[in-house]
């Protein structure tokens, strides 16, 4: 049998660097801060770290607006710090995965500065331009952060495309010289020893804006194949494609086991269910539980043997899962564990977003304290559209990206042990109760549950290759499934809600081992307590 790829049996920890750990007392997390926490991550058991963008950037979208792809932003350190991080992580068998923003650059990138000079500047065609008449954009395409996706440049008498902020002009992947430059840049990082790349909004790189096509556009698969061949395929790297618009069909192409494109897809179908259909994420609705089960089942089944899933609840763009679909009050610990157990038994590569392993929660701030460009853009748009302020704030509390961006809670010391000075973003006031120091070593902690799940994945091959089967599909409260290989079966049973329910699942044989559960011990088989989750393993 062919040796499985390393990234199939690893757990990836995601770091939002500005909120992780501040080593030099300026209130902003940095690379040396990450280095100082590698032992903590080794204790957790993860073997790869995905770091959100640390390249040089004016920080209009917290680093997702890159002005120099081959340098580190001084806010985070320098190239030497990055080399130290790669080296120190390697000593602990941890690989560093970089976040690559290839769909757009910053408007302060040298290429864009040149591109704006004249229509026949060699860099002009690195971006997407359309002639127009001032005040009348080429069409009504909208930018993700509000307003038109077209920005007028008076000196040129042209508009450029930006699917995100005005300061994030879209790159023109139809230009082969641009593509070559991007590949060279990626190879620069490969030579430095990174373990792979997270490819930001990769399904947007090919587009046909004149016809309203913004994702999965013409030549996308060709560009991905070329990108892969010119870069990742030359080394044993992981490449993860962030694709909001992926379907299982597309995902099979992106993550084709022949390795011609990417390693895996990072898709969002399960995590966008709690919004009014056809509306925006801000238009809140309870999660449709049966639909949630159906979505997981479909992705688990369709990609089995034909692609590879990413498993995640949280990231830097999403609210905290324990506040979202668990209970961040009385059952915070149980529900955080339940959600972890539910996810980590599935097939794919699990991601843990910083603080998720502690059961960190959402935050409620006053409007002035929000920093996120998306949140502020939405607020402005909705106020102008006549929405009620309280309603907007409810959406922000539930879904703002800043929920995930508060400083990591290391201890009950001032500023949660994140920094010696006031951090760039408010610390969640619950840090005295929820912090790493109090959880590491405590067998009842959320941290311990994650630690165990990671250890189990390393120990039992059924996590890697067991086939998924959803149980009790119609049950309105219980999410249960099995994973089965030739000799073993894994059984996961989760009560997704806060009331005690009847356990609809048949009891496994008495020789079954309880691997992990969300309470101190499994209670009686017949009932499941609020947010009770159990994971069993047995031989067939």
- Residue 22 makes contact with Ca ion by CB under 5 A: yes
Options 61, 73, 203, 242, the catalytic residue: 242
Instruction: Please confirm, yes or no, whether 302 is among the known catalytic residues.
Output: no
> In whole angstroms, what separates CA 260 from the centre of its chain?
23
The pairing of strands 349-353 and 310-311 is parallel
Main-chain dihedrals φ then ψ at residue 226, nearest 5 degrees: -65, -45
Of all helices (H) and strands (E), which one includes residue 311?
A: strand 310-311
Instruction: Please confirm, yes or no, whether 524 is among the known catalytic residues.
Output: no
Three-state DSSP at 307 gives coil
- Residue 70 makes contact with Ca ion by CB under 5 A: no
Binding to Ca ion in span 28-57, by CB under 5 A: 28, 30
Helix %, strand %, coil % of the chain (to 5): 35, 20, 45
Q: Which residues pair with 484 in a beta bridge?
A: 467, 489
Task: Please state at what angle helix 220-230 crosses helix 176-192, rounded to 10 degrees.
Answer: 40
Selection from Ca ion, ligand GLC, none that 22 binds (CB < 5 to 8 A by kind) is Ca ion
Task: Report the residue number, 26 or 83, with the smaller CB distance to Ca ion.
Answer: 26
Options 30, 200, 203, 274, the catalytic residue: 200
Tell me how far, at minimum, the Cβ of 374 lies from ligand GLC, in Å: 7
Tell me how far, at minimum, the Cβ of 446 lies from ligand GLC, in Å: 24
- Residue 408 makes contact with Ca ion by CB under 5 A: no
Q: Which residue is nearest to Ca ion (CB)?
A: 30
Provide the 10 A C-beta neighbour count for residue 444. Answer: 12
Task: Report the residue number, 327 or 402, with the smaller CB distance to ligand GLC.
Answer: 402
Selection from ligand GLC, Ca ion, none that 30 binds (CB < 5 to 8 A by kind) is Ca ion
Task: Report the residue number, 106 or 489, with the smaller CB distance to ligand GLC.
Answer: 106
State the Cα–Cα distance between residues 527 and 55, nearest whole angstrom. 51
Of all helices (H) and strands (E), which one includes residue 85?
A: helix 79-91
- Residue 24 makes contact with Ca ion by CB under 5 A: yes
Task: Report the residue number, 317 or 532, with the smaller CB distance to ligand GLC.
Answer: 317
Tell me how far, at minimum, the Cβ of 104 lies from ligand GLC, in Å: 7
Q: Which residues pair with 68 in a beta bridge?
A: 56
Task: Report the residue number, 147 or 498, with the smaller CB distance to ligand GLC.
Answer: 147
Tell me how far, at minimum, the Cβ of 400 lies from ligand GLC, in Å: 12
Tell me how far, at minimum, the Cβ of 26 lies from Ca ion, in Å: 4
| 169 neighbors 211 (Cβ within 8 angstroms) | no
Q: Give the closest residue to 169 by CA, choosing from 118, 222, 102.
A: 102
State the Cα–Cα distance between residues 76 and 68, nearest whole angstrom. 14
Tell me how far, at minimum, the Cβ of 53 lies from ligand GLC, in Å: 8
User: Which residues are at the interface with ligand GLC (CB under 6 A)?
Assistant: 61, 64, 101, 164, 200-201, 316-317
| 234 neighbors 194 (Cβ within 8 angstroms) | no
- Residue 174 makes contact with Ca ion by CB under 5 A: no
Task: Report the residue number, 201 or 396, with the smaller CB distance to ligand GLC.
Answer: 201
Task: Report the residue number, 352 or 462, with the smaller CB distance to ligand GLC.
Answer: 352
| 438 neighbors 359 (Cβ within 8 angstroms) | no
Provide the 10 A C-beta neighbour count for residue 421. Answer: 14
Selection from ligand GLC, Ca ion, none that 317 binds (CB < 5 to 8 A by kind) is ligand GLC
- Residue 402 makes contact with Ca ion by CB under 5 A: no
Among 23-31, 80-88, 246-254, 497-505, which window interacts with Ca ion (CB under 5 A)? 23-31
Tell me how far, at minimum, the Cβ of 174 lies from ligand GLC, in Å: 20
Selection from Ca ion, ligand GLC, none that 357 binds (CB < 5 to 8 A by kind) is none
- Residue 73 makes contact with Ca ion by CB under 5 A: no
Main-chain dihedrals φ then ψ at residue 144, nearest 5 degrees: -65, -30
Buried/exposed code over 40-78 (b: 16+ C-beta within 10 A; e: otherwise): bbeebbbbbbbbbbbbbbebbbbbbbbbbbeebbebbbe
Task: Report the residue number, 80 or 184, with the smaller CB distance to Ca ion.
Answer: 80
Q: Which residue is nearest to ligand GLC (CB)?
A: 64
- Residue 26 makes contact with Ca ion by CB under 5 A: yes
Q: Give the closest residue to 377 by CA, choosing from 398, 407, 401, 361.
A: 401
The pairing of strands 467-471 and 478-484 is antiparallel
Write out the catalytic residue numbers: 200, 242
Q: Which residues in this chain contact Ca ion in the complex, by CB under 5 A?
A: 22, 24, 26, 28, 30
């Amino acid at each position: 049998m062919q040796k499985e790829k390393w990234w199939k049996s690893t757990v990836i920890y995601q770091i939002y660097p500005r909120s992780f750990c501040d080593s030099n007392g300026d209130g902003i997390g940095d690379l040396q801060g990450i280095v100082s926490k590698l032992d903590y991550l080794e204790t957790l058991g993860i073997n790869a770290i995905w770091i959100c963008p640390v390249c040089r950037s004016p920080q209009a979208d917290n680093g997702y607006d890159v002005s120099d792809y081959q340098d580190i932003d001084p806010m985070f350190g320098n190239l030497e710090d990055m080399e130290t991080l790669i080296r120190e992580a390697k000593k602990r068998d941890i690989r560093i995965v970089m976040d690559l923003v290839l769909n757009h650059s910053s408007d302060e990138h040298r290429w864009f500065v040149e591109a704006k000079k004249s229509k026949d500047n060699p860099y002009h065609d690195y971006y997407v331009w359309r002639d127009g008449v001032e005040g009348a954009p080429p069409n009504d395409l909208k930018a993700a952060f509000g307003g038109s996706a077209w920005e007028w440049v008076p000196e040129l008498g042209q508009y450029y495309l930006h699917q995100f902020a005005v300061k994030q002009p879209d790159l023109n992947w139809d230009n082969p010289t641009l593509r070559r430059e991007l590949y060279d840049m990626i190879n620069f990082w490969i030579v430095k020893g990174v373990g792979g790349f997270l490819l930001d909004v990769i399904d947007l790189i090919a587009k046909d804006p004149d016809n309203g096509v913004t994702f999965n556009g013409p030549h996308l698969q060709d560009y991905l194949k070329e990108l892969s061949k010119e870069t990742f395929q030359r080394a044993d790297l992981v490449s993860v494609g962030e694709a909001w618009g992926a379907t299982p069909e597309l995902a099979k192409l992106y993550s084709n086991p022949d390795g011609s494109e990417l390693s895996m897809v990072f898709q969002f179908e399960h995590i966008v269910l709690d919004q009014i259909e056809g509306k925006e994420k801000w238009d809140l609705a309870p999660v449709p539980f049966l639909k949630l089960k159906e979505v997981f089942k479909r992705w688990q089944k369709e990609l089995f043997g034909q692609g590879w899933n990413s498993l995640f609840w949280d990231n830097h763009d999403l609210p905290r899962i324990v506040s979202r679909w668990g209970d961040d009050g009385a059952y915070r610990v149980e529900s955080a564990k339940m959600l972890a157990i539910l996810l980590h038994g599935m097939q794919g590569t699990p991601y843990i977003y910083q603080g998720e392993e502690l059961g960190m929660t959402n935050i409620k701030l006053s409007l002035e304290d929000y920093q996120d460009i998306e949140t502020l853009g939405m607020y402005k748009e909705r106020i102008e559209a006549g929405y009620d302020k309280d309603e907007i704030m409810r959406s922000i509390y539930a879904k703002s990206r800043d929920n995930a961006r508060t400083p990591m809670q290391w201890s009950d010391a001032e500023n949660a042990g994140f920094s010696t000075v006031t951090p760039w973003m408010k610390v969640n006031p619950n840090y005295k109760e929820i912090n790493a120091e109090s959880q590491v070593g405590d067998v009842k902690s959320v941290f311990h549950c994650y630690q165990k799940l990671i250890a189990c994945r390393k120990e039992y091959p059924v996590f890697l290759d067991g086939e998924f089967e959803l149980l009790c599909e119609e049950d309105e409260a219980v999410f249960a499934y099995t994973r089965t290989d030739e000799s073993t079966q894994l059984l996961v049973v989760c009560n997704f809600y806060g009331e005690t329910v009847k356990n609809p699942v048949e009891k496994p044989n008495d020789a079954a081992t309880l691997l992990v559960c969300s309470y101190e011990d499994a209670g009686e088989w017949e009932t499941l307590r609020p947010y009770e989750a159990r994971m069993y393993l047995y031989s067939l």
